[in-house]
Structure 1
Amino acid sequence: MGRRTTYIILFRGVGGATSLPVQPLKTALLEDGFEKVATYINTGNVVLVSDRTPRQIVQRIADITLEKFAFSKSIMIVSRANWKKLIAGNPFPGAEGNKLHAYVLEKEPDSAAIEALERKNAGPEKFVVDGNVLYYYPPQGASESKLFSKIETTLKVAATARNWNTVLKLAQLAEQIDKGAP
C-alpha cells in the first residue's frame, strides 16, 4: 500500500434532482476502509484519507455509489497538496467567493478547446485554464452568465465546479483532518 494521503473527492452533477445522501455515503466509505471521512454540504464533497492510489479510490467510490445509491457520474479526486496549489494559483484574488468558481477537469483540455471557449466569451466573464483547473469569474453571477452553460461542452472534458467559498471550506476540512481532528 502507498502513503496515507488526504484527498478531496468531488462528485459531478449532485444537487437539484440528483442527490447523494451524505450520511449513508460517509458510512459506506468508512465501512470500505476509507479513513477520517468527512462530507461538506449536499452537493457531493467528501474529504477522506487513504493509502490507495487516486485511480483505485475513484474506482472504489464509483462502485460503492453505483451499488448503494444508483449514482454514476464523474468523480474527481484532488490531493490536499494539489488543492493548496489550486488555491494558491487563483488568478482572480479579489473576486467575491460566491461568484468565483474553480472547475476541476477530468483532464487538461486541448488548446483548440480553450481557444473555442475564449471565442464564445462575450464578456464580462473571465476565465483561466491552468492544467486541469479552470478558474471562472462571472462578475455578474453565474446565473446571469451566457458562458457558464457552455464551459464543459466547449472544453470537451467532464468537469465539476465549486464556488470559492466551498473551495476554501474544503481546504479547511482537509487541514483539520490532517491535524488529527475526527
Structure 2
Amino acid sequence: MMRWAALPRAINAGKPLPMADLRSFLESEGMADVRTILASGNAIFSCGADAAVIEARLEEAAKARLSLDTTWFVRSHAELAAIAATAPFPEAIAARPNHVQVLFYRQPLDPARMEELVASYNGPEQVLAIGRELYVDYPEGIGRSRFPALLTKGKLPPCTGRNWSTLLKLVEATR
C-alpha cells in the first residue's frame, strides 16, 4: 500500500471539521495508518487505490456522511518530494517559508493561460506553474496580496494551498 497525503480544500478555513472526526472518517473509508497534520485537514494514510479513485471516494463519502462538499487533492510521497525538490524561490523559502505557497490542482495548468494571467498582474509575487502545482511567493503576505483575486477572476479550477513549512511536514509524514 502506498502512503498518501489528502489535502481537502478549505477545511477549518470555512468548513469546520475536527481532526478526530477526519481520522475516523478516513478509517471508515478504508484508509490505514491514518494521522492528521495540523488542524487544517491535512491527512496522511495508506491505501492501495490510486489518487483519482481516492479523491472521488472521499468527495462522495464526505458529502454523504459529513455533509461536507469540498474538493480533495491527493498526492503520494514521491509527488510531494518532487514538489519540494523544485524549490523555485530558494531565497524566499529560506527567509519566509510561510509566505511561499504551493497551490495544488487536479489537472496540469495551461502554461499559456498562466503566462497570460501573470502578465496581466503587476504585484510583487513570484509565480511558477509546473504540472499540477502553482508555486507562489507572497513577499508581503498572503492576506495582503491581490494575487488570489486574480486567480479567481481568471476562472482557474478549484485548488487548495499549503505553505512551504506545511509541505515539508507532509513530505516527512508520508515517508
Unaligned runs of 5+ in 1: 176-182
- State the partner residue of 1:163: 163
CA-to-aligned-CA distance 1:123-182 (integer Å, 9 cap, x gap): 31101000111100011111121112322442622111111111111112112xxxxxxx
User: Does 2:119 correspond to 1:122?
Assistant: no
Who is 1:42 aligned against?
A: 39
Q: What's the CA shift for 1:100?
A: 0.3
1:12 is matched with which residue? 9
Q: TM-score, normalization: structure 2?
A: 0.91
Which stretch of structure 1 is more off in the superposition, 124-133 or 26-35?
26-35
Give distance in 2, aligned partners of 1:49 and 1:153.
37
In 1, the alpha carbon distance for the partners of 2:140 and 2:29 equals 43
Cα deviation 1:7-56 (Å, max 9, x = unaligned): 11111122333112221121122133211111112222111110112122
CA contact (8 A) 1:114 1:155 kept: no
Name the residue aligned to 1:180: none
Distance 1:34 1:14, change over 3 A: same
Which residue pairs with 1:93 in the alignment?
A: 90
Q: Contact 2:111–2:129 at 8 Å: present in 1 too?
A: no
C-alpha separation between the residues in 2 aligned to 1:58 and 1:67? 14
Question: How many residue pairs get matched?
Answer: 172
User: TM-score scaled to structure 1, two decimals?
Assistant: 0.87
2:59 maps to 1:62:
yes
C-alpha contact 2:109 2:133 (8 A) present in aligned 1: no
User: What amino acid is the match of 1:118?
Assistant: V
